[in-house]
Each structure stands twice: as C-alpha cells, then as structure tokens.
A and B are shown apart, each in its own frame.
Chain A
Amino acid sequence: MGRIRWVNVSVAAVCVIVVVYTGLALVGIAALVLNFAGAVMYLLQEHQLRAKRLGTLYYTLPALATLDRLTYRTLAFGFPFLTTGLILGVLWAGTAWGSVFTFDPLALSSYVAWTVYAATLAGRAAGGWHGRRAAYFAILGFAVLALTLSAGLFLPGKHGG
C-alpha cells in the first residue's frame, strides 16, 4: 500500500512540474521572441540612420531608444521565466531519468542559450551594454534557443523519445 501511494504522489508531482514547466517556458519564449524582434528592428533602424538612406523602414520602425528599451525590458522579463523553466526541467529530468545532469544535446544547447541571455542581461545591467552589441547578443541567444526548440521537436533522443 505505502509503495503504491508513493508512486501516485510522484506521478502527480511530475504532472504538475510538466504543466508548470511548459507554461513558464512558453511565457519566457514569448518574451524572448519579442526580444529578438526588437533587436532586429533596432539593427535595421540603426543601419538606416547611419547609412542616411532613408527607406520605408525608417518611416515605419519606432525610434532607436524605444527599440533598445524594448529589447532590455523583454529580456529582463523573459529571463526569470527561462531560468525557472530550466530549473524545473532539470528537476523533471531528475525524476524522469534519475539523473539531474545529462549530456543530452537538447539540454546542453538550452544551457548555452541560458548562458548567452544571462551574459547579455549582466552586460546590460552592470556593463552598460546597449544598442548594437546588446542587439547582436539578443539575436545570438534567440538563434541558440530556436535551435534548441526545433531540435526538441525533430531530433530523436531522450526528449524526442
């Protein structure tokens, strides 16, 4: 009897973790998609203003300062979600596979994405990063994140299985 109840509780806990993990990850990803979009728009607008050849983009895109603020805020908002999601993912891995640290390529690349975002956020908050550099990092972070997500969907492995 005791044994069976333990299993039930464990399954319920895993279910909760999966639901919360997915929800948090989705909110985080949405913020980071905006972060990516802001960075791309920043670079496009910056290029227009520097090249002094003003096209349709100059007229339609918002101001540089606005776009820079957008990328900072979406990062600051999305990062905690990404972090929590990742921690829950690790805990889930612990219950599901019995090991917290795994060399699953998907897990690895999500750590890389997290590191890129962590570095950008630290650079922005403490190192005075802004503008072009921050935008490049936002794009890099999103590239790794997108790679992770698409690998999760299409590659075989512990996650895919």
Chain B
Amino acid sequence: MALFVSGLSHRNAPVELREQLAVEEDKLRELLRDISSTNAVREAIILSTCNRVEVYAVADVPGEARTVMFRRLCRHRGVEPAAVEAVLYTFAEGDAVRHAFRVASSLDSMVIGEPQILGQVKDAFALAQSCEAVGPALHALFTHAFAVAKKVRTETEIARHAVSVSFAAVELAKKIFGGLEGKAVLLVGAGKMSELAARHLVEQGVFPVYVTNRTWGRAQEMARALSGTAVPFDEMSTALAAVDIVITSTGAPEPVIRRELVQRVMHGRRGRPLFFIDIAVPRDVEGTVDSLDDVYCYDIDDLKQVVDANIRERVREAHRAEILVEREVAKFLAKLGDVEVIPTIVSLRERLEAIRSGEVKRTLARLPGATLETREAIEAMSTAIVNKILHAPITKLRESSRAGSPRSWLELVHELFGLGRR
C-alpha cells in the first residue's frame, strides 16, 4: 500500500494544458466515483485549480493506479493522454507528504503565500470525502496539511506583505500613520485603480472620502460609488488641507499638484503628514514635492518597487517555512508509522492481558482464604510481569516503523505471540 501524488502544475505545464485538464465540481464527483470503482485505487483526492491538477491517492500498485486515473481524467476531458503523461510528476511516500504540505501552505504557488490555495485544498478534501473516496491515510495527511498551512501562516510572514500595487499603497499608509481609522482620503481623478486603492483604504477605516475631477459629473459618480463627497476641481487646495492621503490618477499631461500648492497647504497642517499615491502616468504630483517635510509621495514605479521588495521578503520567509514543513513531514511520517504498528501493539497487549487475567482468576479461585491485600499483590505482580515482557517488543515495533521497515517485525510478532493473520 503506498501513498503518492501525481499531477501537473504551473511549474511544468503550460496554461493551455492546465485549462484543458481542469475539472469542475460535478465532473469531479463523477470522476472520483469512477476511479474508486476500479479497485486500482484505495483512496483518492483530486485537486483541480487553474494552476494545478493533482491526484493524491493510496494504492497497492502506484504506477498502475496513476496510469488508470490519468487515462480516465484525459478521457473525461477529451485530452490526448500522451501529452499529459509527458509532463506528469509523481511523488511517493515522504515526498508526497512534503508536496501536500507545501501546496497547502502556498509554498508551491505561483505567488508564494497567496491565501486561496488552502481553501481550494480544503474544498477538494471535502468533495472527495462526500464521495467516500477518503480513507484513513489521506484523512490523516490532509488534516495534518491544514494544520501545517495554518502554522506556516502564523509563524512566518509569508503572506504578510502586499504583492499588489494597491495593497502596497495601503501598507505604506499604515507605516506612516499607524492606524488608518478616521484618516481622510482625497481622490484626484477617477480611474479604476484609484477606486480599488480607495476601497482598500476604506476597509481599513479611512473616512471620509473626497473625490474631485475636472468633469463634475464623473466626480459625483465616483463619490457615490465610494459613499464619499464630491469636491469641485478648483477647491482642491481646501480638500488637500483636510485630508491625510491623496490618490491621484488624472490623465493630465502636466502635473496637477505643484510644489507651491503643497508647500502652502503644509503650512496650515501643523506637521500632520500628507501621503500622495500617484498612480497616473504621466505623474500628477510634481517630482520635487516629496522633498518637503512631512510629505511622502510614491509614484507608480515606487509602488512597484515596494511590491518587488515585498515579494523578496516573502521568498525570504518561504525559506523559514520550508524548514517548518520539513519538521512537520518528519513528525507526520513518525505518526503514520505508528499508525501501522498500533493495531499489532493493541492486539499484543490484549492477548497478554487475557492470559494474565485468566491465570490470576484461576490462582485466586484456589486461594479462597486470601486477604484483599494478597489479591491486590497478585494482581500488581502479574501486571508488572506482563508490562516488562511487553516493553521490548513494543519498543522494537515503534523503532522499526520509524525506520520505515515494520513489515517483517510485525509478522514476526504475530507469529511469536500467536496473534493470527494480519
């Protein structure tokens, strides 16, 4: 019986192939039932996202199971099996465990640390469970994988820093102002991207929202969309004095926010910082503005640099996460090994306990005059003998399972103690 995972992902297969092979939920149920009925596979979970199609399975003959499963998958999707088999990767046993943990923890994702994958893995698990395709091995593997993913998320900063421009802007604002609760924002110009950034800010408690635009109707429209207030374009300086964050995205060929204007505005602000997020190209905020005290100005290139820095930070954190995963893989394999020997240990104990209690009963029947103390002493002595005898074989079984070769030991113990066929 062997655990393995086989599939293809963004790492080795082009999107054309991935999208051909991706399976939707209804078909997935059908496919799982189909696979389960073949007897080649004992347990199976199919993970199908836009970045990967993978089968996690337990089978007696992994090679055969893999061929059967992907033949069926290809038939379902009308894909040429040869094209798929050329790029399939397969991991078995420990490597399969590691792969499952890495996928669930988003270490194998296209954008490291992205949060969706864990949900997708959980969905795949639930679906397979509802099709009764999950047995004890995959159940143990996946519940452990969810725990590992959670651990990676909380103990490393793999998902902490933004990898999109609009989220990076929000993070910068937090590094300037601390909390964003009650900070005001002004949108100059009305673009999709500035609306997105504004929405992220509002989610963090930014209020109120002002919108200004050369076209009054457009300003009103955007203000309505963001539950904000429209401000006439020539009253921009008044609004600038009142807000903390300014997002600019006009299509103007010349800067609309000049150094003199900002200098004048800053005078009345008594040191309150002003943060410009300039996502317009060409830029809306004059380049020299950010040399003013308490003024921070990030243009689109600066924000992209921040995103790059954040991605590097994620990669750094990913190294720490890999170590954590490695430790968990070892822990899981030890547990899995124990799982294999535990039934034998239990029946061994039961067998010896049956002998012990039978013999004690017989002995006590021949000693009707025995005091309570004597009876207790006989119980205690016999239990101690059994435990001492059991100690060595149980330790040996546990050790052998951790070393990965419990089979011969299991058979030996069954033979020696007459535990019957496994």
Give the B-binding residues of A (Cβ under 8 A). 45, 49-50, 52-55, 58-59, 62-66, 69, 128-132
Contact = CB atoms under 8 A, between A and B. Distances in A.
Contact of B306 (A54, A62, A63, A132): A54
B178 A54 contact: no
B422 interface: no
Contacts of B309: 53-55, 58
Nearest to A48: B175
B271 A65 contact: no
A63 B177 contact: yes
Given A54-B309, A128-B271, A59 B174 contact: no
Interface in B316-347: none
A55 to B, nearest CB: 8
B270 A128 contact: yes
Given A49-B296, A54-B306, 16 more contacts: A45-B175, A52-B302, A53-B309, A55-B309, A58-B175, A59-B157, A63-B176, A63-B177, A63-B178, A65-B176, A65-B177, A69-B178, A128-B270, A131-B271, A131-B273, A131-B294
B172 A59 contact: no
Nearest to A128: B270
Contacts of B175: 45, 49, 58, 63-64
Nearest to B273: A64
Contacts of B293: 131-132
Contacts of B379: none
Nearest to B308: A54
Interface in B143-192: 157, 160-161, 172, 174-178
22 contacts: A49-B175, A49-B176, A50-B296, A52-B302, A53-B309, A54-B305, A54-B309, A55-B309, A58-B175, A59-B160, A59-B161, A62-B178, A63-B174, A63-B175, A63-B177, A65-B178, A65-B273, A128-B270, A128-B271, A129-B271, A130-B271, A131-B271
Interface in B268-306: 270-271, 273, 290, 293-294, 296, 298, 302, 305-306
B313 interface: yes
A63 B302 CA distance: 19
Contacts of A131: 271, 273, 293-294
Interface string B74-104: 0000000000000000000000000000000
B269 to A, nearest CB: 10
A39 to B, nearest CB: 16
Nearest to B175: A63
Contacts of A132: 293
A75 to B, nearest CB: 16
Contacts of A66: 178
Nearest to B269: A128
Given A59-B161, A64-B273, A131-B294, A49 B178 contact: no
Contacts of A54: 305-306, 309
A52 B277 CA distance: 13
A53 B305 CA distance: 8
Pairs A-B, 4 closest by C-beta atoms: A63-B178, A65-B178, A130-B271, A54-B309
